[in-house]
């Protein structure tokens, strides 16, 4: 497995490289987006780990550039809570993201996930349709029977998260920690309210969001 690690902090690169090599992979390093683009043009990588905040060319722009000519899975580093929102604002093709601070163990798990993703699993960049419900995660738009649904940012995030975890039972805690952020300290029932609003906007397709009594919710088409 060949990995490209893009981060301006040498220590982070070193730690990630160590983990990749420990598992028998090899890694190249780039200090910024410009270098990353250049290396990707010259080499074939199985996956790119890309920091967001970097000098010269930032992670978002680098991904955009790389994806123009090569379809390599990209995992973004950083993008916490609020930045998660921005992630969708850009027209990028990141396949996954990891919030800092991350444990290298977690990063490795994501690498394995994106490199051998099974056919049925969803990626951030997919456009999916369930009956008359069309969801475009890159364009950040949702259509209900052909009509554009105006969702709030949280509603988009929640829906996208549901879709990426189709068929999986999700507790309120899991939703709060993954959609709101691991440092969200608040009421469980906040989830309920947002589910209510989201369901309202999905009109007849509210049925896809199933209540799992005593547990939480699940997206099921």
**Which is nearest to 39 in space by CA: 48, 12, 110?**
48
d(C-alpha 12, C-alpha 34), whole Å: 18
Q: Please select the residue that binds a copy of itself; options are 145, 169, 204, 221, rule is CB under 8 A.
A: 169
Instruction: Examine residue 221 and tell whether it contacts a copy of itself (CB under 8 A).
Output: no
Q: For 50, what's the count of Cα atoms within 13 Å in the CB-facing half-sphere? A: 34
Q: Which helix (H) or strand (E) holds 146?
A: none
The total number of residues written for the chain in this structure: 221
Name the binder of 196 from a copy of itself, DNA, none, CB < 5-8 A by kind.
DNA
Residue (of 24, 80, 70) closest to 47 by Cα position: 70
Site residues for DNA per CB under 7 A: 82, 150, 152-155, 180, 184-187, 189-190, 192-197, 199, 211-216
Task: Say how many CA atoms lie within 13 Å of 67 toward its Cβ.
Answer: 16
211 binds a copy of itself (CB under 8 A): no
The item of DNA, a copy of itself, none sharing an interface with residue 189, based on CB under 5 to 8 Å by kind, is: DNA
Q: Which does 194 bind (CB under 5 to 8 A by kind): a copy of itself, DNA, none?
A: DNA
Q: Which is nearer to a copy of itself, 34 or 144 (CB)?
A: 144
Alpha helices, DSSP H only, in the chain? 10-22, 33-42, 59-69, 81-89, 104-115, 153-164, 172-175, 189-201
Site string for a copy of itself, 99-138 (x = CB under 8 A): --x-xxxx-xxx-xxx-xx--------------------x
138 binds, among DNA, a copy of itself, none (CB under 5 to 8 A by kind): a copy of itself
3-state secondary structure of 162: helix
In angstroms, give the least distance from the CB of 184 to a copy of itself: 8
Binding flag, residue 97, a copy of itself (CB under 8 A):
yes
* One-character DSSP codes across 32-86: SHHHHHHHHHHS--SEEEEESS-SSS-HHHHHHHHHHH----EEEE---HHHHHH
Residues contributing to the site for a copy of itself (CB under 8 A): 11-12, 14-15, 18, 83-84, 86-87, 90-91, 95-97, 101, 103-106, 108-110, 112-114, 116-117, 138-140, 152-154, 167-169, 173, 177, 182-183, 185, 212-215, 218, 220
């Amino acid at each position: 497995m060949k990995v490209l690690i893009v981060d301006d902090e040498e220590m982070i690169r070193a730690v990630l490289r160590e983990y990749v090599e420990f598992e028998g992979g090899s890694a190249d390093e780039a200090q910024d987006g410009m270098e990353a683009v250049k290396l990707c043009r010259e080499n074939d990588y199985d996956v790119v780990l890309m920091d967001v905040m970097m000098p010269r060319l930032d992670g978002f722009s680098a991904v955009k550039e790389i994806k123009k000519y090569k379809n390599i899975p990209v995992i973004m580093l950083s993008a916490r809570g609020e930045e998660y929102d921005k992630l969708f604002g850009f027209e990028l093709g990141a396949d996954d993201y990891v919030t800092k601070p991350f444990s290298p163990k977690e990063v490795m798990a994501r690498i394995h996930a994106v490199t051998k993703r099974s056919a049925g699993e969803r990626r951030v960049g997919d456009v999916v349709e369930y009956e008359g419900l069309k969801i475009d995660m890159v364009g950040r738009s949702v259509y209900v029977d052909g009509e554009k649904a105006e969702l709030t940012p949280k509603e988009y995030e929640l829906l996208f998260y549901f879709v990426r975890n189709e068929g999986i039972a999700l507790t309120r805690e899991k939703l709060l920690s993954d959609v709101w952020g691991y440092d969200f300290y608040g009421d469980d029932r906040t989830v309920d309210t947002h589910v209510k609003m989201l369901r309202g906007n999905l009109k007849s397709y509210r049925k896809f969001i199933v209540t799992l009594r005593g547990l939480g919710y699940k997206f099921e088409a």
